Amino acid sequence: MTTYYDEVQELKQRYPDRRSAVLPALRLAQAKHGHLSTDALRECAEAIGTTPAYCEAVASFYDMFHLAPVGRHLVEVCTNISCALVGARQVLEAFEQELDVTAGETTEDGAVTLRPIECLGGCGWATIVAVDHGYRTHVQPDDVPGIVQELRDGD
Amino acid sequence: MATDSKRIVLAGVDEHDLTKLADYESIGGYSALTKARAMTPQAVTDEVIASELRGRGGAFFPTGRKWSFVPKPDQNPNPHYLVVNADESEPGSFKDNEIMARVPHRFFEGCLIAAHAVESRHIFVYIRGEYTGPYEVLVSALEELETRPDLRGDVTIVVHRGAGAYICGEETALLESLEGKRGQPRTKPPFPAVQGLYASPTVVNNVETLATVPAIIELGGAEYAKLGVPDSRGTRVVSISGHVERPGNYEIENGLSMRELIYGLGGGIPNGRTLKAVIPGGSSTVILRGDEIDVGYDFTSLLKLNTAMGSAGVIALDDRCCMVQLGIRVSEFYEHESCGKCTPCREGTRWMTQILRRLESGEAVQSELDLLLDVCDRINGKCLCPLGETAAIAVASYVDKFRAEFQAHIDEAGCPFGDSSPLHDVPAPVSLHASSPAAAEFV
């Protein structure tokens, strides 16, 4: 069983400067802890050989890192121009209704966090919804109950 | 003459599964690499200079010239790096997504040829974190490549994932991020060719640029330069989205008319609506009115209209769209993505959003329209990188081209379009760094 510390040492080997491994190390820490908690940041810092404050400063710059707890699943609806033009707002509203949350919130049972997100680079296949980082294309409001059910069934 | 079906970058994708090394080799893949390695680095660079290839990321800088700026190893003994900008994040552009997902080996072949040209043995591919699909394709293509030392040679390739930051598409911000820092742009000079990654000579190229290189070596630079039009040689993979019947990526010869892009390839405007406006090169570019599309899709033709191909993201908007609402959505995007380093961008984009929101709600008075343009003017040319500037130029162009519509928001004390515009009340993105009360209970 490879430990987090060992995995980060392996990552560091890929770069001339160990600090380049901060982003992948934060990604691993987040996957392990669910979000970048104080413990997660401390563990990351020890493995890299820097301070938790440095890791937090880096993490807070990037949208894919979460310094606060999030649900077990993440539903991200692209609301940039191309998706908005073909109905992203209606898709987001359908998720809000189905999950009984406002965009940016987590469901009461801690299962799903819903948020609008900036352009996911799939404008020709709008509306794009990233479900646990996997792209769903051409999403319509009618598809939303099925996606939510899928997440609940998988839990 | 420009045509709509010239495939260089995406050649063979419909007939073969080019994500597989064997299939790619069966159509002559990696033969350009063998040919290039038999040439001197200078000769390879000279072919690319002769091809007149310009960067496909948006800045349009001549690729061969960029390579020629890198000092020779005897002039600078530090390792030389090739860094690939695969951080495609420009709203409207999704071409690199498809290129990496469908022709990963052509892309890697281009990387290896470029590495030979600039005498680098280290390639870093910085791919945006959200691109999980293309990332997996690249990783498996790389695994195949690792089994073939005859192709990879002594070059190491590392695929490095970003973590959600538009600004990391700016090359110096990308280098900062790759060094494990917050992705904030650096002052230039020094330029990356002299002091880039780890303060060493570095070439930063876009995915499509590199995926074009094998064809240039195969055909010869002069032959490639016969495609397209002056100043915009060769082909371009154009992303068409928004209000068109057939959105998607289309590889065209540069210079094809924008009318053909939208009404030919894109299939025209759905639901019997009419074309109101076109964003020609991603959200950072100056908008065109629907009656301005009889223009070639190339650098010079678009420059005459004060706009640009940018990263080739063409977004069509039909007659229901409110330009103030468009301004809000664009301004909010740049406000969210501003790295915060330069005050005019950090504060200015926020001001732009606030004024546009007041216009939309009908609270704005006449002087605020001038204030909006004044704020835009105070961002332009006053920042380290173009992020704030492109937001300002784009939004100012909506006012310039649709002034009467902005005026109507003031005169009618509200939006004439309201909910009938698909851009009405579209929520802005949310960062998940602050605690959500519900989630906190489940720590």
Where b means 16+ CB within 10 Å and e means fewer, A64-84 reads: bbbbbbbbbbbbbbbbbbbbb
Nearest to B329 among A84, A106, A113 (CB): A84
User: What pLDDT does B429 receive?
Assistant: 83
User: What number is the average pLDDT over the span B329-340?
Assistant: 96
pLDDT at B1: 41
| C-alpha to C-alpha distance for A33 and B165, rounded to whole angstroms | 22
CB contact under 8 A, A63 and B164: yes
Q: Tokens 């045509």 identify what position?
A: B3
Q: Give me the mean pLDDT over the A85-93 stretch.
A: 97
Radius of gyration of chain A (CA): 18
Q: Which tens digits make up the pLDDT trace of B87-106? A: 999 999 999 999 999 999 99
pLDDT, chain B, mean: 95
Query: Are residues A69 and B435, on separate chains, in Cβ contact within 8 Å?
Result: yes
Nearest CB among B239, B317, B333 relative to A80 is that of B333
Report yes or no: B425 at the A interface, CB cutoff 8 Å.
yes
**pLDDT of B212 above 90:** yes
Look up residue B243 and give its two tokens.
Answer: 């209000």
Contact between chains at A118 and B336 (C-beta distance less than 8 A): yes
Average pLDDT over residues B39-60: 97
Question: Can you tell me the mean pLDDT for B143-157?
Answer: 96
Q: What is the mean pLDDT of residues B340-354?
A: 97
pLDDT tens digits along A26-39: 999 999 999 999 99
Q: pLDDT at position B435, please?
A: 53
Q: Is B174 buried (19+), middle (13-18) or exposed (0-12) by CB count in 10 A? A: buried
Bridge partners of B352, per DSSP, are none
Q: Provide the chain B residues 258-317 that lie in CB contact (below 8 A) with chain A.
A: 279, 283, 313, 315, 317
Lowest mean pLDDT among A118-127, B48-57, B259-268, B434-443: B434-443
Query: Region B229-242: what's the mean pLDDT?
Result: 97
Over the stretch B177-195, which tens digit does the pLDDT of each residue have? 999 999 999 999 999 999 9
- The CATH number assigned to the domain with range B21-226 reads 3.40.50.11540
SS3 B359: helix
pLDDT tens profile B279-307: 999 999 999 999 999 999 999 999 999 99
**Which of the residues B426, B435, B441, B443 would you substitute to probe the A interface, choosing the one with the greatest number of A C-beta atoms within 10 Å?**
B426
Burial of residue B46, with CB atoms counted within 10 A of its CB: 0-12 exposed, 13-18 middle, 19 or more buried: middle
CA B334, chain centre distance (Å): 15
Q: Is B440 helix (H, G, I), strand (E, B) or coil?
A: helix
pLDDT band at B2 (very low <50, low <70, confident <90, very high): very low
Q: Which residue has the tokens 């209000």?
A: B243
DSSP-derived 3-state class of residue B120: coil
Q: Is B128 part of the contact surface with chain A (CB cutoff 8 Å)?
A: yes
**Residues of chain B with C-beta less than 8 angstroms from the C-beta of A80:** 91, 283, 329, 333
Q: Which of B339, B93, B171 is nearest to A63 (CA)?
A: B339
DSSP tally for chain A: helices H, then strands E: 7, 4
The kind and range of the H/E element at B431 are none
Residues for chain A: how many in total? Answer: 155
DSSP, collapsed to helix, strand or coil, labels residue A129 as strand
Structure tokens that stand for B327 in this block:
């301004």
Q: Where are the domains of chain B?
A: 21-226, 232-318, 323-442
Angle at B148 between CA B146 and CA B153, to 5 degrees: 85
Mean pLDDT throughout A95-123? Answer: 96
Quick one: average pLDDT of A101-108?
Answer: 95
> How confident is the model at residue A154, as a pLDDT?
85
Cβ separation of A130 and B130 shorter than 8 Å? yes
Closest residue by Cα to residue A24 from B65, B221, B135, B336? B135
Pick one of 3.40.50.970, 3.30.70.260, 3.40.50.300, 3.10.20.600 as the CATH number of B232-318: 3.10.20.600
Can you name the residues that pair with B233 across neighbouring β-strands? Answer: B228
The CA distance from A80 to A121, in Å, is: 10
Residue B326, pLDDT score: 98
Shortest CA gap A9–chain B (Å) = 15
The reported pLDDT for the residue numbered B398 is 98
Provide the residue count of chain B.
443
Using the structure block, give the residue that is written with the tokens 């057939």: B246
- In eight-state DSSP terms, residue B296 is B
DSSP secondary-structure letter at B44? H
For the residues B237-263, what does the mean pLDDT come to? 97
**How many CB pairs lie under 8 A apart between chains A and B?**
215
Which of residues 135 through 164 in chain B touch A, CB cutoff 8 A? 158, 160-164
B438 touches chain A (CB under 8 A): yes
Q: Is A152 exposed, middle or buried (0-12, 13-18, 19+ CB in 10 A)?
A: middle
pLDDT, tens digit, 9 for 90 and up, residues B349-371 = 999 999 999 999 999 999 999 99
Predicted local confidence at residue B6, as pLDDT: 87
Q: In whole angstroms, what is the distance from residue B204 CA to residue B296 CA?
A: 28
pLDDT band at A147 (very low <50, low <70, confident <90, very high): very high
User: In chain A, what are the domains?
Assistant: 4-61 (1.10.10.1590), 73-154 (3.40.30.10)
Mean pLDDT of B117-121: 97
> Residue B4 pLDDT more than 70?
no
Asked if B432 contacts A61 with a C-beta cutoff of 8 angstroms, the reply is no
Which 13-72 residues of chain B touch chain A by CB within 8 A?
none
Question: B152 pLDDT exceeds 50?
Answer: yes
- Per-residue pLDDT of B399-417, as tens digits, reads 999 999 999 999 999 999 9
Which of B320, B265, B310 is CA-nearest to residue B290?
A: B320
Looking at 1.20.1440.230, 1.10.3720.10, 3.40.30.10, 1.10.10.10, the CATH number of the domain B323-442 comes to 1.20.1440.230
Percent of chain B at pLDDT > 90 equals 95
* Cα-to-chain-centroid distance, residue A102: 17
Please tell me the predicted confidence (pLDDT) of residue B443: 39
Q: B158 has which bridge partners? A: B124
β-strand pairing of A73-78 with A112-117: parallel
Cα separation, B219 vs B209, in Å, equals: 16
Scanning every residue of chain A, which has its alpha carbon at the shortest distance from the alpha carbon of B440? A69
CB contact B165 to A (< 8 Å): yes
Bridge partners, B206 (sequence order): B85
CB contact under 8 A, A121 and B128: yes
